[in-house]
Structure 1
Amino acid sequence: MRLLVLGAAAGGGYPQWNCLCETCRLFWERDERVRASSQSSVAVTADGEHWLLLNASPDLRQQIMHVDAMRPSQTTMAREGAKRSSPIASVLITNGDVDHTAGLLTLREKQNFELHATGGVHDIIAANPVFHVLDPNHVTKRKVGVGEPFKPVPGLTAELFSVPGKVPLYLETETVDVGEESEMTVGVKLTAHGKTLFYIPGCAHIPDSLKARIAEADALLFDGTIFVDEEMKNAGVGEKTGRRMGHMPISGEGGSLNAFDGAKIKQRVYIHINNTNPIWIDGSEEKKTVEAAGWQVAYDGMDLSL
C-alpha cells in the first residue's frame, strides 16, 4: 500500500492568502524554515495504477499538476480507451467541509470515477446545485454505511467509522453539537497486503473506543490542526477554540500528543495543519516536541509505503 500526501494543510492552506499571523509572516518574508502547503488531501493505491482520493481539496488541480502519479498517463488512457484518463478511480469524502468537497468541481470534466461518502455527506453534496456538474453518466455515487467494509479500488479495503466532530461550518445553527459521533464526520481504515492505515483529518476528542480501534495500526494520519486550543485567539486571527471548531489540540490537557502512548502504532503523522500552527516551522520548539514524541509532520509530496 502506498500513500501520497497531496496536501497537508487545513482549510485555507499554508500560508493563508490573507494572513499575517506569525507563522504566515515567516513565509511571506521567505524564511527558509517554512514551506508552503496546499489543503488537506491524500491518495492511496494498492496496485500502483488505481488510486483512491481521500477528500477533494480546493487545490486539487494544482496537486495533480505537481504529483506525477496523479497525472493522465498512457496506461490509464489505454485501459479506459479514451483521450481523457486519470489514475484517480475513486474519491472518498470524510465530511462535508468546503476544504474536503470543493475539489469535486475540478473533477467535472467527463471523467469516470466513483464517489463514496456516508448518506449524510452525500445529502449535503446533493443539496448544493453546483455539484450537479458531476455528470451521473461518469460519476457513480455510492452511499457507504459506517462499519461496512468496501473496495473503492482494486486490492484496497476501506471501512468508515464515526469520530467526534460536528456539522460543516456553513450548516451550523445557534446550537452546535461539537463532539457528537455520527456519519457526518468519519475516519477511514484502509487495509491492503496485510497492512492497515488510518486516516482521521478531523477529531474533536479521542474516546477509548478510538484508541482501541487503531492500537496496532501500521500508520496513522491524524488531526494536527492546532497546537494549543486557543491558538486562533493567541494569533489574533479568530475567537473560536480548536475544540469549538471540532479539532482537538496537539498539546495541553486532553491533547493528542500523548493520547496514543502505549499503542503499537508504527508511524504517526499529523495532517490537516492550520496556518497558525508553529509545527510548520523547522526547528521550532513545537515541532521538536511532536518529533520527540514519535510524530511526523506531514508535507505536500510526503510518500509513505507500507
Structure 2
Amino acid sequence: MHPRSLRDTPVTSVLLTNGDIDHIAGLLSLREQTPFSLFATSEILDVLSENRIFDAVNREKVTRHPVALAQDFDLQPGLSARLFAVPGKVPLFMEGNDVRTDLIGEQTVGVRLTGNGKVAYYVPGCADVTDAVLKQLSDADRIFFDGTLWDDDEMIRSGTGIKTGRRMGHIPISGPDGSIVRLQGLRAAKTFIHINNTNPILQPDSPERAFVEQSGWDIAHDGQEISA
C-alpha cells in the first residue's frame, strides 16, 4: 500500500457495502485527482449522488460502477467479487420515523471474494444471521464478519449511545442468537471486523476476548495480513 510517488496511491478500486457515514466518508480522502474505480449497488451510489459533498470525488477521475446483486465482477486482475443482500437498514442520516432493520435489498450487502482458488466473505454490517445468510456463507474458506458489539445493549450500558446494536443494524457477538452461535457450524476460518471501541473483545485480557478465541475466531487488528 506504499505510494509510488509524491501524490500517488496504490488504491485502484473501492467497493462500498452500505451508505453509512463510516463507510463513505473515506472517499473524500481519495479525491485529490487520483483515478480509481468505485463499485457499489445503484442504491448506495444514489446516496452519493444525492449529497453534493461527494462531487469532490471527481467523476472524470473516479468511474462509478453500479453493480447488481449476484453479478460477478472483477475488482482487479485475479480477484472477483459478487454482492449479496444481508439484513440491514438505510443509513442513519436517511432514517425516518419508521425504521426497519430487516430490510433485504441493495442498501446493505456482503461481498463474496474469489481468487487463487479460495473464497472469502466480507460482511461488515449485518442485523441478523438468517438461514439465507448461512446458506450464502457455506462455501467460505474465510469469513470477515460484523463484530461491532459484544452484546446488544453494550452502548446503552456504557453511556456511549441510546440504541441497541440490532437497532443500529448489527447483530451482537454473544448470546444464543448471536453471531458466534449462528455461524458455529461453518467450516471457514472466521475473523471479527468493524469492532466498536466499546467492545470488550478489544481488551487483550478480557474474558470476552478469551471466549471469542476459544470459539475459533480471530480478532482483526490494524496492519493485519492474512495469507491463503
Q: TM-score range by the shorter chain?
A: over 0.9
> For the residues of structure 2 that align with 1:190 and 1:152, how far apart are their CA atoms?
9
Q: 2:220 aligned with 1:298, yes or no?
A: yes
Pair 1:188-2:111 in alignment: yes
Deviation of 1:84 (Å): 4.1
SS in 2 for 1:232: helix
Matched, 1:270 2:201: no
1:240 paired to 2:163: yes
Matches within 5 A, 1:65-84: 70-73=1-4, 84=7
Amino acid at match of 2:199: N
1:6-59 Cα shifts (integer Å, max 9, x gaps): xxxxxxxxxxxxxxxxxxxxxxxxxxxxxxxxxxxxxxxxxxxxxxxxxxxxxx
Q: CA deviation at 1:253?
A: 2.6
Distance in 1 separating the partners of 2:175 and 2:140:
24
Q: Deviations over 1:73-113 (max 9, x none)?
A: 26xxxxxxxx7432211100000011011111111111111
2:88 is aligned with 1:165: yes
The answer on 1:132 being equivalent to 2:58 is no
Do structure 1's residue 283 and structure 2's residue 214 form an aligned pair? Answer: no
Residues 156-235 of structure 1: pairs in structure 2 closer than 5 A: 156-235=79-158
Deviation at 1:159, TM superposition (A): 0.2
Taking structure 1 as the reference length, what is the TM-score of the superposition? Answer: 0.73
Tell me which amino acid in the other structure corresponds to 2:77: P
Report if aligned partners of 1:258, 1:293 keep a CA contact under 8 Å in 2. Answer: no
Q: Distance in 1 between matches of 2:8 and 2:75?
A: 18
TM-score, normalised with respect to structure 2? 0.97
Read off the aligned partner of 1:262 and give its amino acid letter: G
Instruction: Output one character per residue of 1:147-183: Cα deviation in whole Å (capped at 9) or x when no partner.
Output: 1000021111000000000011000010011111110
CA distance in 1, matches of 2:226, 2:42: 30
Structure 1 residues 100-152: Cα deviation after superposition (integer angstroms, max 9, x where no partner):
11111111111111000000000000111011011222110100001100002
| 1:146 is the counterpart of 2:64 | no
Query: Partner letter of residue 170 of structure 2?
Result: H
Task: Give structure 2 stretches of 5+ with no counterpart.
Answer: none
The secondary structure found in structure 2 opposite 1:180 is: coil
Whether the 8 Å CA contact 2:113–2:120 is kept in 1: the answer is yes
Whole-Å Cα distance in 2 between the matches of residues 248 and 97 of structure 1? 16
Distance, in Å, in 2 between the alignment partners of 1:103 and 1:236 is 27
Which whole-Å CA distance do the structure 1 matches of 2:147 and 2:185 have between them?
A: 20
Helix, strand or coil: the match of 2:164? coil
Question: Cα distance, 1:215 vs. partner?
Answer: 1.6
* 1:103 correspondence with 2:50: no
How far apart are the structure 2 equivalents of 1:281 and 1:271?
Answer: 15
Amino acid of the residue matched to residue 215 of structure 1? Answer: S
Is structure 2 residue 12 aligned with structure 1 residue 93? no
Query: Counterpart amino acid of 1:72?
Result: P
Runs of 4+ in 1 over 2 A off after TM superposition: 83-86
Q: Does 1:249 align with 2:172?
A: yes
RMSD (CA atoms)? 1.1
Question: Does the 8 Å contact 2:175/2:181 carry over to 1?
Answer: no
Contact in 2 for aligned 1:227/1:249 (Cα 8 Å): yes
Structure 1 Cα separation of the partners of residues 3 and 51 of structure 2: 29
Identity fraction in percent: 46
Q: Contact between 2:156 and 2:163, CA under 8 Å: does it hold in 1? A: yes
The gaps in structure 1 that reach 5 residues or longer are: 1-69, 75-82
